[in-house]
A and B are shown apart, each in its own frame.
Chain A
Amino acid sequence: MYDLSANDSLKEKLTILSDAAKYDVACTSSGVSRGGKEGFLGNSVAAGVCHAFSADGRCISLLKILMTNHCIYDCKYCKNRVSNDVERALFTPEEICTLTIEFYKRNYIEGLFLSSGVYRNPDYTMEKICETLRLLRTKYKFNGYIHVKAIPGASEELLYSAGLLADRISINMELPTEQSLSKLAPNKTMKNIIEPMNRISGTIAGHRVAIGKSARMERCGINKHLVNSIFGPEAGRIEGSSDQPFLYPAERNDALLRRPFAPAGQSTQMIIGASNETDLELIRTTQALYQSFDLKRVFYSAYIPINDDDILPGKDTPVPLLREHRLYQADWLLRYYGFGAEEILTKDNPFLDYRVDPKCFWALNHLDIFPVEINRAPVEMLLRVPGIGPTSVKRIISARRYGNVNFEMLKRMHVVLKRAQFFITCNGKMLNRTPIEQRFIMGQLTDLEHREVYQIEDSLNTGRQMSLFSDCNLEMA
């Protein structure tokens, strides 16, 4: 195995370790608002700031690197698994700190995303990560955003330290079921992932209560108006099984920094397409994670075939980008639109429709409650109309206070009328004379979505010559 020694240039290390980190999806700098302090460098904005967009169109908000890509584990899907022959490198804590500080001062990044392969053992790796963060927060006086990955299996004191030093802490779930985890990631167990997740969520809640906030994380304001929201009062917290939900105290120096524990909450990510889970299972797991562990985000990562392995999809399998896109749409429905997992998908129909987005699909199957009158409908009903989102709902509600709303105003409020027109009336009239009929509306909507679907699928270069026999059902007898 080719191993870079400490003397190799910073540029080579950065190239190797950012290349190794790129499959981690989370690159958000959001969730916590913190003003700058004299003598320190940096602040944090709750909405997050994207600083650049890479060639794959994803935003670059944080300096996303691994501390090392040396790893003792052998997860089948991972590029850095021990059985792969790849270039390996290791950053020193000082190098990570200077890179972060210098990039931050030039306004290239909003903070640091630090993950790592398991070097020697989980505790040693986590200790190195904590050492880096401690240096960054104390010696380099960095006050910007830090997202840290917790290594499954690391001890609780170290997790607590990491949470105090960082803004967001996350543990990757990778696969939603025990079976696929034992098949594809033989060194990881569900218990090793779920337990620290539960502890972290308990500790976050404890710290929030201690400073007079509610135990649960803040959610998009629209959820307050939704009765059936998964974050609503009736949903309640599903308690984890652990008796002791708090983490043990960390090193004294970290506690003396007087920082809140992971103020931007925790997140996780799941791989799509490496094993054979259904969308329903994924969405259900997502909802359970939001409700039980109060996660801020669940990310999906379309599986990219980089390793040759019998139990993995072949190397020429297309990346399931459209599936990932639809899953994110469903995730948004959970967090911003007051939908539940069971409403989006059912047991008989466990996969999301690829032709139209999940909200349109839901509306098409519930045509009995449409059309909705814009001037009188309640918030939760307005939110269920395709083409109307939380921002438009706010605009409609505030405009209704001062007079009637008509289609021209809706257009100016950036309501997507090409979708919404089939489902709404303004002062009792629809925009055009369109029948409320499933087949008709489906035809119209798939026509609209066609371009989007084509764009996503086209980027995978899966184009092929059509076949008269298989595509047009003209199979010879």
Chain B
Amino acid sequence: MTIFTCAPGWEAMLTCIYEASESKLGHKNIRLLLEPLGQQSFLDEYIHVEPDEVKAEKVATSIIRGISYHFYQELAYTAMAYEEDVLDNIYHVLLLGFRFGENALKMVQYRDIIRNREIRARVVREAERFREILRFHQLGNLYVAHFEPKSRVASYLGPIFQDRMPSENFMIVDDVHREAVVHRKNEPYYMWQINDREFARLAQTEEENDEYTDLWKAFFDSIAIRERANEKCQMSHFPLWARKHAVEFTIDERG
């Protein structure tokens, strides 16, 4: 079997899809994987694909013209996921898309479609969770939020928070994938890749707590009804891994 691999990123993924289908090896004889690779098999041939703007553009255009823009968008959502088989899944869904058109996404009779829906639902759930639990810290007239997602959901959050606070300066920093949404007052947001120096400086922003953080903690404590205490329910809605940057759960070291 021949395995095409590429770095994470939408452009690289589209290029990889281009190279895989141009290889004409037969769909059953190829797999597509995202780097970094785990255990490699000596029976398979691995081909690394570098991102290429022209080839990626070709694939994107043919999806949008040949199937639909909606289909393209749905695949782009799937591509944010961290799952191992996500690229391979996108490739197979694309084949079904070219065969049946946009409705292919509803044909749950195909395993690839079901898998695609699972991945997409999980990504959207994760992104929606961060829409809820992101916590901003005030630095002068700038608001900074840090978060640690499993999938690359920062680009999903960009438009949401731009709509929520159109006239504020804010930054949403993805500490895992080192990317950030940067929004200036009354301007459209943009994505930014963070280098090490910037990352070290941004990491300090979370230490800034003001009186409103304290007020929020006081509110958070007093709003709970003691007679109905239900830690299990709280845990299932707000699991421990999600509490890392939630200020109401951090213990104040200043006492």
Chain A residues packing against B (C-beta within 8 Å): 10-11, 14-15, 18-19, 21-23, 35-43, 49-60, 63-64, 99, 102-103, 105-108, 302, 304, 319, 321, 395, 398-399, 401-403, 409, 412-413, 455, 459
Contacts and interface: CB of A to CB of B under 8 A. Distances in A.
B230 A56 contact: yes
Interface residues on B, range: 35 or more
Given A53-B234, A459-B230, A60 B220 contact: yes
B166 A38 contact: yes
A79 B168 CA distance: 40
Contacts of B218: 11, 14-15
A57 B225 CA distance: 10
Interface in B139-178: 143, 145, 162-168
A37 B168 CA distance: 12
A103 B212 contact: yes
Contact of B108 (A35, A106, A409): A409
A105 B136 contact: yes
B223 A64 contact: yes
A19 B219 CA distance: 8
Given A42-B164, A56-B228, 16 more contacts: A14-B218, A23-B225, A35-B163, A39-B166, A49-B131, A51-B132, A52-B246, A56-B224, A56-B225, A56-B226, A58-B228, A59-B237, A60-B220, A103-B212, A105-B168, A304-B227
A22 B222 CA distance: 8
B108 A399 contact: yes
A455 B214 CA distance: 33
B106 A106 contact: no
Contact of A105 (B107, B165, B220, B230): B165
A52 B217 CA distance: 11
B164 A56 contact: no
A56 to B, nearest CB: 4
A399 B168 contact: no
A106 B215 contact: no
A374 to B, nearest CB: 13
B182 interface: no
Contacts of A401: 106
Given A10-B215, A51-B133, A55-B234, A40 B222 contact: no
Given A56-B229, A105-B168, A459-B229, A402 B109 contact: yes
Contacts of A58: 224-225, 228
B233 A57 contact: yes
Contacts of A41: 165, 167-168
Interface string B233-248: 1100110000000101
B31 interface: no
A40 B167 contact: yes
A107 B134 contact: yes
A51 B136 CA distance: 12
Given A53-B237, A399-B109, A108 B163 contact: no
Interface in B167-226: 167-168, 186, 212-216, 218-226
A395 B246 CA distance: 35
Contact of B137 (A52, A106, A399): A106
B117 to A, nearest CB: 9
Contacts of B167: 38-41
